[in-house]
Structure 1
């Protein structure tokens, strides 16, 4: 019985393959397909619904429903049973459709005489393309075998859609893809604007033969591909020089376990038995697994989705011979478009890129950190852009607004170019201020420093007019490797940084990992709130070998120059005392070994938790300098996760209560006579930067591109007058200072 069903399934898929190969337009193909599916499954109705846009499904072909409803009947995503299948990505099977929750009666289709309903999604690796439906006049539920068989057919339809078999034209009513202008609203991860051409980080594998002629041959191809995949994964694990056992090895072993999974192989073999080719079987299982894991509430299981996607993509490239290098030439002014990307890959592209657009990511992700270092705009959460974009498509990236225009209309492109021209003109004006101090009309001077994390950042030190590096993120050297860097490697990097600084101070922040910065070779901690968990100095004090190694590298890099070391995420004075003690021990050790010592060592702390605003006076007296980590301090003060778009923008830096906290920190530092700086995104926003200066913070550290605008504003106003305005506004009980400050600036 099972063999007969397998045979029927293969016969139907061969018919679909013949339809794909035959000449004809998209509408004719779909009409034939619905006829053959209904005939094969013994149903009176078969219908294909495709997405007209991201929220609208349209009946594009049918066997059994009224022909006049084709291209007339439309449903919103989630509307009716068809819309439910599209929204959830899961089948609906019922013998009494009208009794189902959410049922919508569509009288124009004449479907009221067909109560039995089976709908399955037409999707391709997370990309929703439409819904395939069969219906009967007798009240029956379809069997598991019938459901599975229809899902296999839907998989082939998805591949046919990708191959353009149903591509619309100007003369028919089918949806047309990759032609019209599209706008994507995402999230700003790095400000700036760029115009260019799309460059897809990982061009999608095109499966030209979704139907297999011989199951035995396809099964053999699958096994051969799996053997090659497993060999590559085993070699990758064996070659990973990561210093023995540890969390990083557990991560790689989990990855290897996926590659050797028997259940994964078995499910793909079942797909082949029903008539799919080896590569189509891989992609069907990838789509099904993605649908299952995306519904999981366990964050660990959801993280495994990336492992499974990566392995499936590797296997598909082995089977099809389509590598990541397709031979396509990177266009001029390339804008990278990807689902997600790691820091190493992004660094490999380097400054050739004019911008980056991701479907996933976060404002604190590795990619965002590297994009800031490269000073290129980055927009994240641009949903479905990898499905819509083609290599070479014109694209505009507005990192200031978090908006992307794909294939923009002429009027949109012209307005965008005007905006870019205005920004370029402003930057050229700021260049004239490069050698001038940031001194207000009242005589108050503010030191402007830049943030950095890569050697690529350092040329900006001279060009931006920065007086030094207020924050050098040392974790980037750990993030872009698949093994722990050696002490000698780090010493060379830190030495080059100091060389390029040419005598200007560089504040080296020790390793700040955890939370949103997980090393590739470090097992992610399953923490309910990682931002408040095992991260930064907490990791350093628990893994003292890594902290000691990094401090040794910094000491050796100094070579007779001053050294500035800053410990991150200090939440209790004892943490600073422990870290300080370790640094002193390493200095003594290096001196005993006869190494050249720094001429001066300055030790500071990042103040990123409200607790340290109330720390004992001794803490401030122990520090040679203190740097406010504005991003973290604000999220903990307002209890608003900065990775959560629903809440992070609701809380303003110029809220009177947050300003009061900053005042207290300034007073504590002045009392202990310890220099204070502010580091974070807000330091690079002119209005906020001017407010910080008025509160008494005399050093600000920001991205290089922000130094010009901030200096320009500071030099035009009286910081002392603004201080009096803020005092008056607070005395009047205002809950937010933004409006009085901006109105005062407008009068100036």
Structure 2
């Protein structure tokens, strides 16, 4: 095989570019490329394998193997040497392929006569596209320069695949064209049809091959200088940033000045790549290495690498985030992740949100619920597949996203939305009617809120009041701690908008997955059970005191309800309650009007409170069961973990028996009890809670109509008897008995 020099590499890349410019279909291009690479590298075989689906590779073109095996030879991800390269993203170079670990013989290809094997991944910034292979009869390992040269060629092929250069009748390599189904997780229920709007539009490299290495090096150096100036400017204006944020910028600065990073990109340019392609190649190679690391810290650095590389690519290509494109009609936001302030900037213009990351308790999920926008999280790879303007269907109920769906899917989805809209119209007729069952028992249905934008739903939904107002959103969407006056003005507007309907304000519930931008992350091994909510408030009394003063001043003498989150022991509640009473007395001593009707409650989210002494229940004016947290602690099932969170049913007899214990404790102490959480808004679960004796439920506004409709059809006394009969038979899960009763109505 001839020696591989940088000049040879540049010549090969130019020949590749010229070949791609010749008219012809995708298959013809692939055939020409394999022939060209085999000739240039002096090997008997060159083959290109591309992904047919995320788990299957297909031989799409070959020079030297049996032509009849093209589009017939397939292998699973990780299967054989080709599958191993695809799975790990790491080249395999061996002079004795049959003896290499994982070798699989494909008899239809006729490859048994070839000993040497070199396979490199065709990948683009974490997106696996295929594998490029060369083979020869001579038993020897390929030289380091030869491996490097093939990696450079694979980089160009990745960019060409991204641009659709190899799209063929077989549907291989045609990105951004075919329907794709993404199975994620529910962040917020609901359904929406719209057009994709990428929060960070991807940079498209249209010129992977550089004509003049010196020109490309100069372009890279100018972009690097501009990037360093940007980062230096951010550091100079970093007043008010906490230590953690400054450390991130310092890491960016160090990477931008890395000589090794720059040297590798300069070497890639010398091999024939453009400056943009060199940046992408180094990002792809580093990503492949970091993704294999068992160290969580190293894997987290992927985000830093992606961010700084994308900044550099935007400087090189001029493709800024503001592309000049107008927000499409019915936009659905697609992003890797997004902060609450950025999501609020979009506001109610959005029809839905789809994220690659996120969690059911993340900032974005909280804002999506407040805006009543369907949200799907954990939709892996959607940002690499979606393009602005693509048709997209978001099924927040099932955690499913259809990108560029077929007409039959669109028709079925529209039917689903139409049925939901029709049901909402029926529920509108119930807006002014009470949630009264056939036996005359009335259940109070409240709504959850967290933004001023929620309050118009108070009257439109028929809610009796606000059972939970999340005060942390005003902290999460700011880059600094809000001032007391700002909070007091906001809380006053909330109470003004609610009129004579009661609002139950929950004090700051931060920690766990809700970390303030200006708060140092605690890096706890189990944050859901760590330093959060009232624990933070009692440890930082200044913040708690400021919020309590703001609430008292906002009330201006009107009735005020305040509840403390994540109380685990009576002592925590008494300490928080005393802090509120102290601030009330202090405000009165200063001559300010204070509420005569001040109701103080606790959120019961830990099983320990169900066993608290009677004095705790007597001291609470009201208790709100926080169902989301209580259920995860009761079943020891992390609600952020999709493998286990849906494994345990709310209507499990053990859980309902536990809820009944709380109901009885509150009845004995004459303490008002409500249930707040996702399950309160699910009609079957809500009806079951009501049958057990809970007379206050708090849910998202859109759920009030369906829940009220079901309560008015049912008889809670009858349902209670049905539940008891099922228990007497030894039923562990009471859902079948409840649904059978509802079917009989």
- Distance change >3 Å, CA 736–CA 221, structure 1 → 2: same
Contact 1:251/1:521 (CA < 8 Å) preserved in 2? no
Equivalent residue runs for 1:653-664 within 5 Å: 653-664=650-661
Moved more, 226-235 or 354-363: 226-235
Measured after TM superposition, the shift of residue 275 of structure 1 is 2.7
Shift of 1:440: 1.4
Query: Would you say the 8 A contact 2:628–2:677 is kept in 1?
Result: yes
1:530 to 524, 527, 530: 527
CA contact (8 A) 2:161 2:173 kept: no
- Determine the structure 2 residue equivalent to 1:349: 346
What is the match of residue 370 of structure 2? 373
Determine the C-alpha separation between the residues in 1 that align with 2:734 and 2:461: 29
> What are the residue-to-residue correspondences of 1:541-560 with 2, within 5 Å?
541-560=538-557
Partner Cα distance (1:500, 1:82) in 2: 63
- For 2:199, the equivalent position in structure 1 comes to 201
**1:312-338 Cα distance to aligned partner (Å, 9 max, x none):** 222211111001222223222222223
- Within the candidate set 593, 602, 605, 1:605 is matched to 602
Flag structure 1 segments of 5+ consecutive residues without an equivalent. none
1:245, 1:335 → 2: CA distance? 33
For 1:485 and 1:253, how far apart are their aligned partners in 2?
Answer: 27
Distance 2:352 2:242 in 1: 39
User: For structure 1, which segment, 649-658 or 332-341, has the greater mean C-alpha deviation from structure 2 after superposition?
Assistant: 332-341
Asked if 2 retains the 8 angstrom alpha-carbon contact of 1:249 and 1:521, the reply is no
Contact 1:241 1:483 in 2 (8 A): no
Query: Any idea what the Cα deviations from partners look like across 1:393-432, whole Å, max 9, x if unmatched?
Result: 2222222222222333332222222222111111111111
1:184 to 182, 185, 190: 182
Distance 1:238 1:548 in 2: 33
Q: Partners of 1:441 and 1:51 in 2: how far apart?
A: 59
TM-score w.r.t. the length of structure 1 is: 0.94
User: Counterparts of 1:315-714 in structure 2 under 5 Å?
Assistant: 315-714=312-711
After superposition, residues 61-100 of structure 1 pair within 5 angstroms as 61-100=61-100
User: What is the CA-CA distance between 1:739 and the residue it aligns to?
Assistant: 1.1
1:718-729, aligned counterparts within 5 Å?
Answer: 718-729=715-726
Cα distance in structure 2, aligned partners of 1:506 and 1:253: 44
| 1:22-41 to 2 correspondences below 5 Å | 22-41=22-41
Question: Any conservation in 1 of the 2:49–2:130 contact (CA below 8 Å)?
Answer: yes
Larger CA deviation: 327-336 vs 77-86: 327-336
> How big is the shift at 1:67?
2.6
- Shifted more, 326-335 versus 595-604: the winner is 595-604
Does the 8 Å contact 1:240/1:482 carry over to 2? no
Structure 1 residue 190: deviation in Å? 1.6
SS in 1 for 2:516: coil
**What secondary structure sits across from 2:398 in the alignment?**
coil
Q: Verify the 8 A CA contact 2:461 2:701 in the aligned structure 1.
A: yes
Per-residue CA distance 1:506-526 (angstroms, 9 max, x = gap): 222222222222233334332
The runs of 5 or more residues in structure 2 that have no matched partner are none
The answer on whether the counterparts of 1:34 and 1:61 sit within 8 Å (CA) in structure 2 is yes
Could you say which residue in structure 2 is the equivalent of 1:119? 119
Question: How many angstroms apart in 1 are the aligned matches of 2:687 and 2:598?
Answer: 30
Q: In structure 2, do the counterparts of structure 1 residues 745 and 488 end up closer, same or farther at CA, with 3 Å as the change threshold?
A: same
TM-score (norm 2): 0.94
Where does residue 6 of structure 1 map in the other structure? 6
Q: Is the 8 A contact 1:605 1:626 kept in 2?
A: yes
Say whether the 8 Å CA contact 1:251–1:522 is kept in structure 2. Answer: no
CA distance in 2: counterparts of 1:593 and 1:300, whole angstroms: 51
Once the two structures are overlaid, the 10-residue window that deviates more, 495-504 or 727-736, is: 727-736
Q: Distance in 2 between matches of 1:315 and 1:600?
A: 59
> What number of residue pairs does the alignment pair up?
743
Deviation at 1:262, TM superposition (A): 4.5
Spell out the pairing of 1:152-301 with structure 2 (5 A cutoff).
Answer: 152-168=152-168, 170=169, 175-240=173-238, 242=240, 245-301=242-298
**Separation in 2 of the partners of 1:44 and 1:77?**
25
Deviations 1:276-316 (A, max 9, x none): 22222222222223223323333333333223222222221
* Residues in 2 aligned to 1:73 and 1:327: alpha-carbon distance in whole angstroms: 45
CA contact (8 A) 2:51 2:172 kept: no
In the alignment, the residues of structure 1 paired with residue 584 and residue 512 of structure 2 have an alpha-carbon distance, to the nearest angstrom, of 30
1:151 matched to which residue of 2? 151
Query: Which one is further off, 104-113 or 655-664?
Result: 104-113
Structure 1 residues 45 and 347 mapped into 2: Cα distance closer, same or farther (>3 Å)?
same
CA-to-aligned-CA distance 1:694-742 (integer Å, 9 cap, x gap): 2221111101000001011111222122223323332333211111111
1:97 is displaced (CA, Å) by 1.5
Secondary structure of 1:586's aligned partner: helix
- Are 2:47 and 1:47 aligned? yes
Q: Check the 8 A contact 1:71/1:173 in 2, yes or no.
A: no
Once the 2 structures are TM-superposed, how far is the Cα of residue 258 of structure 1 from its aligned partner? 4.3
Aligned equivalents of 2:522, 2:138: Cα separation in 1:
53
**C-alpha spacing 1:495/1:71, structure 2 compared with 1 (3 Å):** same
1:315-365 superposed Cα distances (whole Å, 9 cap, x missing partner): 211111001222223222222223332222222221111122223322222
The CA RMSD measured in Å over matched residues stands at: 2.4
Gap change, CA 1:296 and 1:699, over 3 Å in 2: farther
* TM superposition shift of 1:186: 2.4
Contact persistence 1:656–1:737 (CA under 8 A): yes
Aligned to 2:140: 140
**Distance between the aligned counterparts of 1:511 and 1:238, measured in 2?**
32
* 3-state SS of 1:647 partner: helix
Residues 129 and 173, structure 2, Cα contact 8 Å, conserved in 1: no
Q: Matches of 1:140 and 1:511 in 2, distance apart?
A: 66
Which moved further from structure 2: 400-409 or 368-377? 400-409
1:745 is displaced (CA, Å) by 1.8
Deviation at 1:206, TM superposition (A): 0.8
Q: CA deviation at 1:92?
A: 2.0
Shift of 1:644: 1.0
CA shift digits 1:222-258 (9 cap, x unpaired): 232233223333433444553x655454455445544
Distance 1:593 1:279, change over 3 A: farther
1:160-208 per-position Cα deviation (integer Å, ceiling 9, x unaligned) = 111222222x5x7754343333333222222112222222222211111
